[in-house]
Homo-oligomer: A and B are copies of this chain.
Amino acid sequence: MSSVAIIGLGLIGGSLAKDFRHANQFKYFIGVENNTEHANKALEIGLVDEILNLDDAITKADFIILAIPVTSAKNIASKLLDKLKNQTLIDVGSTKEGILLELENHPKRSQFVATHPMAGTEFSGPEAAIGNLFNNKAIIICDADKSDIDRVEKVEQIYKSIGGDIEYMSGKEHDISAAYVSHISHITSFALALTVLNKEKSAKNITTLASGGFRSTVRLAKSNKDTWEAIFSENKDNVLEVLDNYIESITLFKHAIKSGNAEVVKTLISQANEVKKVL
């Protein structure tokens, strides 16, 4: 047991703090958080034992978790690695190619392990941190061959201790798949919220009529703007490709409905129904 520094005490950083503490993976939790309100809240609710500035936290901690929006994470990653002695640094961001490219030729590259715990909620900030968020969730470790094997094993072990299912892939493969099975869902949900809010000026009508189905598809529209703008920006090419495919699919539906051809509409729905087999 040792000490951990968590840089960024939002939903993911905070939830990892809760679970790692509960699983006795570290004995001392140091938080680094620029937002004073968030820092105070994180201390108050016991997510961390102490708030330090970045340099002091790195000096004191045996293990470092980078849990800030992906663009900022990429931008500070190299300087962070510069400062390390023998500690391990992991990131937990939703995009991987950018940060991996940034650190590709860093002399301490092997001390870094790129991870993406595929779990979350639509809420943000330290108060959004919840226990047991990672149980039975996929934890993707990317380009693991570039990291020291014993560090990868340690990272595997701590994630397994909180219920994570470890998967390995390249950063490139990860970013393409994440665009399809995570990032696009947020855009469709944001767009749905915009559409309905623009139309239904009467909030009461939405609240009254919103079925479980609407609530479920629009849930992600509550997600944090800083987190998600950064993800779309870091994964721009893949996200734009998925968006084009998605707009094509929705246009197929539009034309089928417009044409009044029931069989075409039913065929499209049947094809979509195939998702039952995988989820």
- Asked if A274 is at the interface (CB within 8 A of a chain B CB), the reply is yes
As a 0/1 sequence over residues 118 to 146 of chain A, the CB contacts with chain B under 8 angstroms (1 = contact) are 11111000000000000001101000000
Q: Which residues of B contact A229 (CB under 8 A)?
A: 262, 265-266, 269
Chain B residue nearest to A210 in the complex (CB): B181
- Asked if A193 is at the interface (CB within 8 A of a chain B CB), the reply is yes
What is the minimal beta-carbon distance from A224 to any residue of chain B, in angstroms? 8
* Bound Cα distance A258, B212 (Å): 33
Whether the Cβ atoms of B167 and A208 lie closer than 8 Å is yes
Q: Which residues of B contact A140 (CB under 8 A)?
A: 209
- Asked if A63 is at the interface (CB within 8 A of a chain B CB), the reply is no
Please give the number of chain A residues whose Cβ is less than 8 angstroms from any Cβ of chain B in the complex: 92
Whether the Cβ atoms of B214 and A216 lie closer than 8 Å is no
Q: Which residues of B contact A190 (CB under 8 A)?
A: 249, 253, 268-269, 272
- Asked if A44 is at the interface (CB within 8 A of a chain B CB), the reply is no
Chain B residue nearest to A205 in the complex (CB): B177
* Bound Cα distance A182, B165 (Å): 35
Among B177, B226, B247, the residue within 8 A (CB) of A247 is: B247
Q: Which residues of B contact A43 (CB under 8 A)?
A: none
- Asked if A170 is at the interface (CB within 8 A of a chain B CB), the reply is no
What is the minimal beta-carbon distance from A54 to any residue of chain B, in angstroms? 23
- Asked if A95 is at the interface (CB within 8 A of a chain B CB), the reply is no
Chain B residue nearest to A275 in the complex (CB): B193
Among B118, B203, B248, B279, the residue within 8 A (CB) of A278 is: B203
Whether the Cβ atoms of B208 and A182 lie closer than 8 Å is no
Specify which of A177, A239, A262, A272 lies most central, judged by the most chain B CB atoms within 10 Å of its CB. Answer: A272
- Asked if A101 is at the interface (CB within 8 A of a chain B CB), the reply is no
What is the minimal beta-carbon distance from A93 to any residue of chain B, in angstroms? 14
- Asked if A187 is at the interface (CB within 8 A of a chain B CB), the reply is yes
- Asked if A36 is at the interface (CB within 8 A of a chain B CB), the reply is no
Whether the Cβ atoms of A272 and B217 lie closer than 8 Å is no
Stretch at the interface among A4-12, A76-84, A194-202: A194-202
Whether the Cβ atoms of B185 and A217 lie closer than 8 Å is yes
* Bound Cα distance A181, B193 (Å): 10
What is the minimal beta-carbon distance from A117 to any residue of chain B, in angstroms? 10
List 6 A-B residue pairs with CB atoms under 8 Å apart, sorted by A's residue number. Answer: A194-B268, A195-B248, A198-B245, A213-B219, A236-B260, A243-B257
Known: A191-B249, A195-B249, A250-B250. 12 other contacts (CB 8 A): A121-B212, A122-B213, A178-B209, A185-B214, A190-B269, A194-B271, A222-B275, A223-B269, A233-B262, A236-B258, A243-B250, A247-B254
